Amino acid sequence: MTSSTHKRSPWRYGTPAVVLVCGALFVVSAENSEGTDLRPGRYTDLATLAGTEAERYERLQDRVTSLTEEVAALTDQVSDTTVARYRREIDRLEDPAGLTARRGPGLTITLADAPEELIESTEGDPNLLVVHQQDIQAVVNALWRGGAQAVTIAGQRVISTTGIKCSGSTVLLQGVPYPQPFEIEAVGDIDDLIRAVDEDDYISLYRDQAADPDIAIGWSMEVASQVQAPAYDGLLDLSYATPITE
């Protein structure tokens, strides 16, 4: 009888070893996680996201303010008639541009989504139960028509370049999300502001829906003896698209 020798492949032993190691890793991961995600999301809810991004924006805004003050101080040291003329023009335009703080009597208007249980149980159009950017914009426009000297949303000064955009249940101002309820304040003659709001057709429809128990979208308007409108201290540069030229 002739005997033959067979060479055994290393994979015959390596494959079971790899399987055993992987199984052990799965067991260790399960024990450590205790049924939870080992890599949880960065944000647990939308309110946390809005708060975190707002804080980040405030830190950057403080940095912009500091640099702006430094530039202004250096500019004041330049003894040039042309520079001085431009400085006087800038000073004249700061107030109408929203770059100075305003304080005085005015209105506080608050918009909010309908109660969550109503949104979840409605058989109608759910879009009627949540605040949209056109709702916020309608209120702001009415206040401007009423002669508002300054307008804020969520405490942030609204200027000509402010973009109002809703994303889910938050409103984006200068790209920063703020959660509802959305508080809109205006400094100005109270009677003129109220008249402008009352005469706006869009707002009248919104208020009718707020009074409807099947919709109950949030609305409140209060007279304020003192409204604080801080100066806008964000970026002033305009960003816009330009066509590609061949």
Domain locations in the chain?
46-94, 102-229
pLDDT-wise least confident of 25-29, 157-161, 208-212:
25-29
Q: What is the pLDDT of residue 214?
A: 94
Q: What is the pLDDT of residue 10?
A: 52
Contacts of residue 45, Cβ cutoff 8 Å, sequence gap at least 6: none
- Mean pLDDT for 134-143 is 96
pLDDT of 51-66, one tens digit each? Answer: 666 677 667 767 777 7
Higher pLDDT, 76 or 131: 131
- Pick from 44-48, 74-78, 182-186 the range whose average pLDDT is largest: 182-186
Residue 124: pLDDT band (50, 70, 90) is confident
CATH number of this structure's domain 102-229: 3.30.70.1880
Residue 36 has pLDDT above 80, yes or no: no
- Mean pLDDT for 203-232 is 96
Q: What is the pLDDT of residue 197?
A: 98
State the residue for tokens 């020798």.
Answer: 5
Average pLDDT value over all residues in the chain: 78
Backbone angles phi, psi at 60, to 5 degrees: -65, -35
3-state secondary structure of 203: helix
- Mean pLDDT for 126-148 is 95
Residue 150 has pLDDT above 80, yes or no: yes
- Mean pLDDT for 29-49 is 48
Rounded distance, CA 78 to CA 93, Å?
21
Residue 217: pLDDT band (50, 70, 90) is very high
Residue 73: pLDDT band (50, 70, 90) is confident
Q: What is the pLDDT of residue 4?
A: 43
Higher pLDDT, 198 or 83: 198
H helices, E strands: number in the chain: 7, 8
Rounded distance, CA 36 to CA 211, Å?
44
Backbone angles phi, psi at 126, to 5 degrees: -65, -20
Residue 137 has pLDDT above 70, yes or no: yes
Q: What is the pLDDT of residue 144?
A: 96
Q: Which pTM does this prediction carry?
A: 0.64
Sheet architecture: strand order including 156-157: 156-157, 150-153, 182-187, 102-112, 218-229
Higher pLDDT, 128 or 233: 128
Q: What is the pLDDT of residue 227?
A: 96
pLDDT-wise least confident of 22-31, 61-70, 94-103:
22-31
